[in-house]
Structure 1
């Protein structure tokens, strides 16, 4: 007799930079006792972007410093790291997995934005899209069951960013980074 395993649900938590995705996920993981044994949190891998081994290269800083030079490289690396995190968390036993962002917001918000800013040229966007579509079609587990979208005004998000004072985001302006992705 086979025991039927329940399907594990995956939701991606999305929203503008500094909308409080991390705080939302931390509260679910640490302060909601009813959910502790039911939810696996997969945070954004910012530490991996800040320390590309073995030379400890900070690709996030490189992107913010020279976006035209590093947009394509950064977005490729973001996808690879998200894929690895998806793969590594896929075998978990908790019935609900919450991912902080997804390969889909990376493609449909961030890659689109850098392309529109002319930081990624036509050849780069076509190359990105060709392997993105191939990988996603071959790995259906990358497709979440649903999305949770957190919303705050661009002004609120920008103020939060200035309070956070992440080194790499020091030069980010309200005009260029807080458009509503819908």
Structure 2
């Protein structure tokens, strides 16, 4: 083999390896979340909120306040939402949404919150993830990550990341 053929073979193998690395995800696909584009802005538009709630199969208590929602659509869809709730409504939101995975202390979710919000730190954070099967108008499974921030114990904030990747 001459040098140009060897270089061409090395380039092809390198490109294939990079393509596979870029598509990497865990065996269930739950650990890969699409990145949000920098130009997105948060909204509280009820149409977008209702679309996100339906997409993620969420049950939002009447006393929850929408702090913001962001949507990214492309090959995959992703919604990022945040709700402030009275302390006793957090469990109702999780249970009503069919979220049965036990939340664990700490921040397992490493995505950004809705623009303009920040997470607390320390013991007031619990998080977890699950997968919602197709149904209820959904044609694809939806990966759901949730983080509950109790930095203000009188007004916890429930953050959701809902995506089809």
TM-score after normalising by structure 2: 0.26
Larger Rg, first or second structure (1 or 2): 2
Structure with a larger share of its residues in strand: 2
Compare relative contact order (CA 8 Å, sep 6+) and give the higher one, 1 or 2.
1
Structure with a larger share of its residues in helix: 1
TM-score after normalising by structure 1: 0.25
